[in-house]
Amino acid sequence: MALVVQKYGGSSVASADRIRRVAERIVETKKQGHDVVVVCSAMGDTTDELLDLAEQVSPAPPAREMDMLLTSGERISNALVAMAIHSLGAEARSFTGSQAGVITTSVHGKAKIIDVTPGRLREALDEGTIVLVAGFQGVSQDSKDVTTLGRGGSDTTAVALAAALEADVCEIYTDVDGIFTADPRIVSDAQKLEQVSYEEMLEMAACGSKVLMLRCVEYARRYNVPVHVRSSYTDKHGTYVYGSMEDIPLEQAILTGVAHDRSEAKVTVVGLPDEPGYAAKVFRYVAEAEINIDMVLQNISKVETGKTDITFTLPKSDGVRAVEMLSKYQGEIGFSQVLYDDHIGKVSLVGAGMKSHPGVTATFCEALAEAGINIDLISTSEIRISVLVKDTELDDAVQVLHRAFDLGGDEVAVVHAGTGR
Amino acid sequence: MALVVQKYGGSSVASADRIRRVAERIVETKKQGHDVVVVCSAMGDTTDELLDLAEQVSPAPPAREMDMLLTSGERISNALVAMAIHSLGAEARSFTGSQAGVITTSVHGKAKIIDVTPGRLREALDEGTIVLVAGFQGVSQDSKDVTTLGRGGSDTTAVALAAALEADVCEIYTDVDGIFTADPRIVSDAQKLEQVSYEEMLEMAACGSKVLMLRCVEYARRYNVPVHVRSSYTDKHGTYVYGSMEDIPLEQAILTGVAHDRSEAKVTVVGLPDEPGYAAKVFRYVAEAEINIDMVLQNISKVETGKTDITFTLPKSDGVRAVEMLSKYQGEIGFSQVLYDDHIGKVSLVGAGMKSHPGVTATFCEALAEAGINIDLISTSEIRISVLVKDTELDDAVQVLHRAFDLGGDEVAVVHAGTGR
């Protein structure tokens, strides 16, 4: 007998009919003799509808109240799923994040899980009950207020519960069949991966893969939670995210896939004095605007001027703010100008195999060059190569790299209706 | 400076626009220098929509889950009102019933408030914050599960909070101008009452008046909470429900109003042996079916048969069940037949003045007789006369009695759009 945690996303519980189907799957799992814990997101577009209502009522709603409002969505869906399970003859009980013992920081809207104390859940499970927990939420350790966890929060809730309850697996149900070697909507012969190590999944998530959010994978890795990403439309196995790439024998290490990201923009601070402290000033000001930076590049300075340029990428939604902040302090920092480009795309090759295969970087750049795709910036890690290209060339770049590294297969990838979350 | 508790019903917060208007009124009250606590019902039809979703997902949803589901409605409306208040420049924070310290019994769907420990609310008020509390809910003392309080639960929440916080007044905002001498939709010259004692309001509520639920008035009376029933559409004063009728000098005691009730049916158990224990059996079986009985009448037995008839009234929705229960045990109880009539209406005259004015009962019956309205049953208390008539004659009966006791005034009652809740 195992303890299984299952997470169902918004489209999986979008209607009474979908809810009943999810309930059937849950009861089926229970009948196999397992303890079952389920985390559901809010139904379909509920969260967006609540956000819309909030906007109608107030231009800048306080974050605390936004969390009180939004958490209603998950409360509703989990209670309904519990009811559906009950109508199939099994016992089920739903809990809020607070009741489930999900303790978080106080940052409304993007709280982090500090601890999980699932005593009430354990009791219910021991009574043979199927347990449902509202995803995306917890309770603040300090203020005892309700908090939400930010995008992908329900996945994080599921993994955190799996860790606290020492579950045998955390199944993330979504509307794609698993994690692919590339986005199947761009690369028709993208392959479903059988297994991916935590580190590789972290890179994929950081490089734009939207199937699992970064925080969720970090949590899974820290507590060694086996995650199974699979489709809620079929019974097929999906992709297991498990294990450290350190455990993969060098000869077996492969290249995992190609990720892409359209959400970033590029800022270049031109003509910064190449002396200690100047780069630090740039990043301090950007950080004070609470902007997260992704790639950073500083090349060697120009001998004749003693000045250098620093380029970094950031979410497009923060682009204007970053430029305003830097322009405001231009005198203080001492650069000559700020350049901004939001027509970029990032494409990345990820894989533990990179470490043991020399020439990957060469093959990477050659493939893009042959396709006439210009590389703007290159940034690498031990198991990843990322480049910036023109956003109009992003899809081509993904296909070219996927082909160059022979990641495709014979089967054409199946894409289910839905937006891939 | 006073502490004011305000309750707004579903139609008062039915849309973003209505929510903003309610927020304006709340902020206005705060600006007058008072501490303000607000209880809101769910927006408009939310509760019905959630009930509908539940039905689609399960034919007989477990009561615990129904409470988890339904309480989302109040959470949403109170968070939105808090946001609207904030956008007007005032501080506001919303709380669930549980967070507000509303402790209840464990009976899901119709929990009773056991205690209110409003520590968190008190802290927030002391910080100058406007406090919002989700109505209609609390937390069970035993199981720590979320519970709902039954119909009119938000009124009860408001009064209970007012009692616990020792508020100066509990304002119940609704879409009628106050409590009238009769339903203004039936009697065009019905008068708005300035003040009504607790006991008279209890009788009015028990006799069909839907403005305030019985439990809410009982709570107000027990803790001496002044209740002000008024319209959310105007600034006019409404009706104060306050004080004991014992405190009204006999000469000043008046007749308060005429209430009516269409929701009941009548059951007659015919030919019951007129000996000790038989009536008790009838009521024991009905009670075991968890049916609440209202009026009960047993007249003297017929000399020649030694048998008697017992008649009682009950909610129409329980009628069929009661008849089935009694029929099932007919042999055991020993009556000859059960009669059922759901075409009845109950009309009642209420007023402390009844005690000191002889002839009220006579005037009552004469007025109905003159109008050709037949009285089926009569039942009285110290301050109330109730009779059953044919449901088709109910409106006439109300008008006739209202006129007979000179309760009308010169102004025609104004009825606002809305269903009077």
pLDDT at B263: 93
Any B CB within 8 A of A78 CB = yes
B307-331 pLDDT tens trace: 888 999 999 999 999 999 999 989 8
Partner-chain residue, chosen from A53, A71, A76, that has the shortest CB–CB distance to B80: A53
Residue to mutate among B76, B121, B133, with most A CBs inside 10 A, is: B76
Block residue for tokens 């519970």: B147
Beta bridge partners of A138: A147
Q: Annotation-wise, does B119 bind a ligand?
A: no
pLDDT at A9: 92
Counting residues of chain B whose pLDDT is more than 70, the rounded percentage is 96
B212-230 pLDDT tens trace: 888 899 999 999 999 999 9
Beta bridge partners of B315: B264
Q: Return residues 386-415 of B near A (CB < 8 Å).
A: none
Contact B16 A57 (CB under 8 A): yes
User: Does residue B416 surpass a pLDDT of 60?
Assistant: no
Q: What type of residue is B233?
A: Y
Contact B57 A144 (CB under 8 A): no
pLDDT at B72: 96
Q: Which residue has the higher pLDDT, B59 or A414?
A: B59
* Cα–chain center distance at B94: 26
Tokens of B24: 């304006």
pLDDT at B367: 94
Between CA B230 and CA B213 the distance in angstroms is 15
pLDDT at A409: 78
User: Does residue B386 surpass a pLDDT of 90?
Assistant: yes
Q: Annotation-wise, does B203 bind a ligand?
A: no
What distance in Å separates residue B164's CA from the closest CA in chain A? 22
B97-138 pLDDT tens trace: 999 999 999 999 989 999 999 999 999 999 999 999 999 999
What distance in Å separates residue B91's CA from the closest CA in chain A? 10
Partner-chain residue, chosen from B50, B62, B87, that has the shortest CB–CB distance to A58: B87
Range of lowest pLDDT (A66-70, A151-155, B102-106):
A151-155
pLDDT at B4: 97
| DSSP state letter for B99 | T
Q: Annotation-wise, does A210 bind a ligand?
A: yes
Q: What is the mean pLDDT of residues B346-372?
A: 89
Range of lowest pLDDT (A70-84, A388-402, B81-95, B279-293):
B279-293
In the structure, what pLDDT confidence band is assigned to residue A413 with cuts at 50, 70 and 90? low
Residue A108 contacts residue A67 (beta carbons within 8 Å): yes
Contact B92 A65 (CB under 8 A): yes
Q: What is the mean pLDDT of residues A146-162?
A: 93
In the structure, what pLDDT confidence band is assigned to residue A412 with cuts at 50, 70 and 90? low
User: Does residue B56 surpass a pLDDT of 80?
Assistant: yes
Three-state SS string over chain A comes to CCEEEEEECHHHHCCHHHHHHHHHHHHHHHHCCCEEEEEECCCCCHHHHHHHHHHHHCCCCCHHHHHHHHHHHHHHHHHHHHHHHHHCCCCEEEECCCCCCEEECCCCCCCCEEEECCHHHHHHHHCCCEEEEECCEEEECCCCCEEECCCCHHHHHHHHHHHHCCCCEEEEEECCCCCECCCCCCCCCCCECCEECHHHHHHHHHCCCCCCCHHHHHHHHHHCCCEEEEECCCCCCCEEECCCHHHCCHHHCCCCEEEEECCEEEEEEEEEECCCCHHHHHHHHHHHCCCCCCCEEECCCECCCCEEEEEEEEEHHHHHHHHHHHHHCHHHHCCCEEEEECCEEEEEEECHHHHHCCCHHHHHHHHHHHCCCCCCEEEEECCEEEEEEEHHHHHHHHHHHHHHCCCCCCCCCCCCCCCCC
Any A CB within 8 A of B89 CB = no
Range of lowest pLDDT (A79-88, A333-342, A412-421, B236-245):
A412-421
Residue to mutate among B12, B77, B80, with most A CBs inside 10 A, is: B80
User: Does residue A278 surpass a pLDDT of 90?
Assistant: no
Tokens of B394: 């109910």
User: Does residue A299 surpass a pLDDT of 80?
Assistant: no
Range of lowest pLDDT (A122-136, A145-159, A232-246, B292-306):
B292-306
pLDDT at B88: 96
Any A CB within 8 A of B87 CB = yes
Q: Annotation-wise, does B104 bind a ligand?
A: no
Q: Annotation-wise, does A7 bind a ligand?
A: yes
Between CA A267 and CA A315 the distance in angstroms is 11
Between CA A413 and CA A189 the distance in angstroms is 6
Average confidence score pLDDT of chain B: 90
Partner-chain residue, chosen from B50, B58, B81, that has the shortest CB–CB distance to A84: B58
Q: Which helix (H) or strand (E) holds B84?
A: helix B63-87
Between CA A130 and CA A117 the distance in angstroms is 18
Nearest residue in chain A measured CA to CA from B51: A80
Which long-range contacts (C-beta less than 8 Å, at least 24 apart) are formed by B234-237? B234/B177, B236/B177, B237/B178, B237/B194
Tokens of A360: 């990957």
Predicted TM-score (pTM) above 0.90:
no
Tokens of B110: 């119709």
pLDDT at B419: 37
Between CA B257 and CA B205 the distance in angstroms is 11
What distance in Å separates residue B47's CA from the closest CA in chain A? 12
Sign of CA dihedral A137, A140, A145, A147: negative
In the structure, what pLDDT confidence band is assigned to residue A302 with cuts at 50, 70 and 90? confident
Range of lowest pLDDT (A191-200, A212-221, A262-271, A282-291):
A282-291
Block residue for tokens 């305003």: A324
A19-52 pLDDT tens trace: 999 999 999 999 999 999 999 999 998 999 999 9
Range of lowest pLDDT (A37-46, A173-182, A412-421, B105-114):
A412-421
Partner-chain residue, chosen from A56, A69, A86, that has the shortest CB–CB distance to B58: A86
Gap between the terminal Cα atoms of chain A: 30
The contacts of residue B103 (CB under 8 Å, 6+ apart) are B113, B114, B115, B116, B117, B138, B139, B140, B141
Q: Which residue has the higher pLDDT, B123 or B411?
A: B123
Q: Annotation-wise, does A175 bind a ligand?
A: yes
Most confident of A249-263, A407-421, B273-287, B369-383: B369-383
Query: Comparing C-alpha atoms, which of B53, B237, B249, B213 is closest to residue B136?
Result: B213
Any A CB within 8 A of B68 CB = yes
